[in-house]
Amino acid sequence: MEDASPRRNEVSTESGSDRVSCGAGESIKPRVLRFKNGNPKPPQQQTLIDELHTLNAMSLDQKLEILTAVRRIWNCEEVNGVVADLNLFSGDVRAERALKLAKWLFIEQDVTYWTESGRHMLRQWIESTFGALP
């Protein structure tokens, strides 16, 4: 059975780091994931919310930029391209880490909830905390 979704999810490493890495092929299938974040437990959604709180606290322009980037990640744009397009967070490792974590968590939700309901639940949590994704 083929997946009708055009979605292709990939997460790479942070610049100069070997943090969380995960990917899925054309059809998303459960697989064993290894975490390279020095923690035996996978990243949690609360970690993303905490990172976004820190990044959103800086200025309204920065909030708009990071939330726009999260929306692009939610839409399955290539994460390194989204990071490269950042202006106010250019070179900011914390912003890069948050976006790659968001990508990983959206993939995790795609694998766990095949109907995309998990992906939507995570987006709703982000939006209930920070407002609608631009």
Domain boundaries of the chain, sorted by first residue: 10-130
What does the alpha-carbon distance between residue 42 and residue 35 come to, in Å, rounded to a whole number?
6
Has residue 25 got a pLDDT over 50?
A: no
Has residue 89 got a pLDDT over 70?
A: yes
Model pLDDT, residue 38:
57
The mean-pLDDT minimum among 21-25, 58-62, 87-91, 119-123 falls in 21-25
Has residue 55 got a pLDDT over 70?
A: yes
Locate tokens 């697989």: which residue? 31
Mean pLDDT value across the chain: 78
What does the alpha-carbon distance between residue 6 and residue 8 come to, in Å, rounded to a whole number?
7
**This model's pTM is above 0.85:** no
Q: 106: part of which helix (H) or strand (E)?
A: helix 93-112
Model pLDDT, residue 20:
46
What does the alpha-carbon distance between residue 12 and residue 10 come to, in Å, rounded to a whole number?
7
What does the alpha-carbon distance between residue 5 and residue 68 come to, in Å, rounded to a whole number?
23
Please give the distance of CA 36 from its chain centroid, rounded to a whole number. Answer: 16
* Two tokens, residue 78: 């290539």
Q: Are 32 and 15 in contact (CB under 8 A)?
A: no
Of residues 47 and 28, more confidence is placed in: 47
Longest alpha-carbon distance in the chain: 47
